[in-house]
Structure 1
Amino acid sequence: MKTKIYMIPGFMNDEKLWSRLIPLFDDTYEFIHLAIPLEDSFDKIVEVINEKIKDEKINLLGFSLGGYIACYFGLKYPNRVNKILAVACTPANLDEVECQRRKEAIEFTKKFGFKGLSRKKVLSLVEPQNQGDEELINLILQMYVDIGEEAFYSQFNATIIRENLSLKLINSNLNLAFLYANKDRLVSSKFMEEFSLKAKNIEFTQIEAQTHMLPLERAKEVKEKIIQWF
């Protein structure tokens, strides 16, 4: 019997996010990519996912924003979840500064048009030793372009209002694990440390790395965690 895992990507990512990870597995695993629905709230996003998936109980792997969505889905539909693995994800709310930054980014894009990620931004997401990996850099740049303007507005609007899920997760009966890099600048190690001390029902794995893009840069470690957890 195959282990089936549904995979939710991060902000402005598509199935290319898994292109270095899935080939590491044999055919006893089945991976199904779930694009983030074009909705403007987490309630609507998880509702669409719930309607789309026909299996009674599922394994969910979410990366970054997808990890938050997977946790949100688990809280809303706990009876539909077997296990969840959230990769490079903090189930926290956004502070006022970040909310304002996102609102400004939306207004800027409306005014000047949708443009791809800057190369500088991509380099800030990857390991220093991989900043010369043109295939990796171009893949991340291409995902952003391919996902497109409609998804940009949808995902940014949905994420502006984002609650801290940690207490709900602590009080849930979900089979939940987190995998993150200790020096990922998009994941607060302080938040995760405090969260892990309170969350005795949740598994936390921290790896020594600077990257946010774990499925692309640390595929072997992600593979090991998937095999161990699912």
Structure 2
Amino acid sequence: MKKKIYLIPGFMNNEKLWSRLIPLFDDAYEFIHLEIPLKNSFDEIVDVLNEKIKDEKINLLGFSLGGYISCYFGLKYPKRVNKILAVACTPANLSEEECIKRREAIEFTKKFGFKGLSRKKVLSLVEPKNQNDEELINVILQMYIDVGEEAFYSQFNATIIREDLSEKLINSNLNLAFMYANEDRLVSSKFMEEFSLKAKNIEFTQIEAQTHMLPLERAKEVKEKIIQWF
């Protein structure tokens, strides 16, 4: 029987996020990509996913925002989850400063229109050694455009109201693992280290890397973690 794993992408990502990861596996694995539902709260998002997924008990792999959604799903529907792997993700809330930035980004986009990511922004997400990888850069740029304006508003609105899930996860019975890069500027290593000291029921894997885009840039390491965890 194939090992089936459901995949939830990150903010403004689509199935292209897995384009360097899935080809590394043989036919023993089946990957099912889930788009993030166009809803304005995490409760609504996971309710839609719960309706959409027909298997009784599932394995979930979430990247970045998708990792947070996977954790939220597991807490709300624990009986539906076998194992969760959250990649490049913290279960933390947002600072007030970050909330303000996101509200400003929404208002700016409403005023001036939806535009793609700047190349400068993309380069800040990838490893220095890969900043001349045009295929990689173009994949990230294109995902943002493909996912589009409606998803931009939906995902930003949902993430502004984001609670810290760490205590709930510590007190849960979820089979949960986190994987992240030590120099990912979007993931707080300090938060994760403090979280790992308290969360004896959760597995943590930190790798030496300067990227957020682990499924695209560190696909081999993610593959090894998937095989080990699931």
> TM-score, structure 2 length as denominator?
1.00
**1:1-230 matched pairs, under 5 angstroms:** 1-230=1-230
1:57, CA displacement in angstroms? Answer: 0.2
Letter in 1 for 2:156: F
User: What secondary structure is seen at the aligned counterpart in 2 of 1:206?
Assistant: strand
4+ residue runs over 4 A deviation: none
C-alpha separation in 2, matches of 1:146 and 1:57: 31
Provide Cα deviations, 1:192-223, integer angstroms capped at 9, x if missing partner. Answer: 00000000000000000000000000000000
Share of identical aligned residues, percent? 89
Shift of 1:68: 0.0
Alignment partner of 2:216: what SS? helix
Secondary structure of 2:68's counterpart equals helix
Whichever residue aligns with residue 55 of structure 1, its letter is D
After TM superposition, give the deviation of residue 92 of structure 1 in Å: 0.1
Q: Which amino acid aligns with 1:49?
A: L
What secondary structure is seen at the aligned counterpart in 1 of 2:184?
Answer: coil
Deviations 1:130-177 (A, max 9, x none): 000000000000000000000000000000000000000000000000
SS at match of 2:37: coil
Q: What amino acid sits opposite 1:158 in the alignment?
A: A
Aligned-partner residue type, residue 109 of structure 1: T
Q: Distance in 1 between matches of 2:165 and 2:139?
A: 31
Q: How many residues matched?
A: 230
Structure 1 unaligned spans of 5+: none
How far is 1:227 from its partner?
A: 0.1
2:100 alignment partner AA: Q
**Alpha-carbon distance, 1:127 to partner:** 0.3
What secondary structure does 2:195 align onto?
A: helix
1:178 to partner: Cα distance: 0.2
Partner Cα separation in structure 2 for residue 2 and residue 207 of structure 1? 28
Give me the whole-angstrom Cα distance separating, in 1, the residues matched to 2:138 and 2:23: 19
Give, as a single letter, the amino acid of the residue that structure 2 aligns with 1:162: R
Give the aligned residue type for 1:152: F
Deviation at residue 42 of structure 1 after TM alignment: 0.1
Where 1:59 maps in the other structure, the secondary structure is strand
The one-letter amino acid paired with 2:199 is A
**Partner amino acid for 1:146?**
D
C-alpha distance in structure 2 between counterparts of 1:139 and 1:68, whole Å: 23
Give the distance between the partners of 2:168 and 2:34, measured in 1 at CA.
24
Q: Deviation per CA, 1:85-114: give whole Å up to 9, x if none.
A: 000000000000000000000000000000
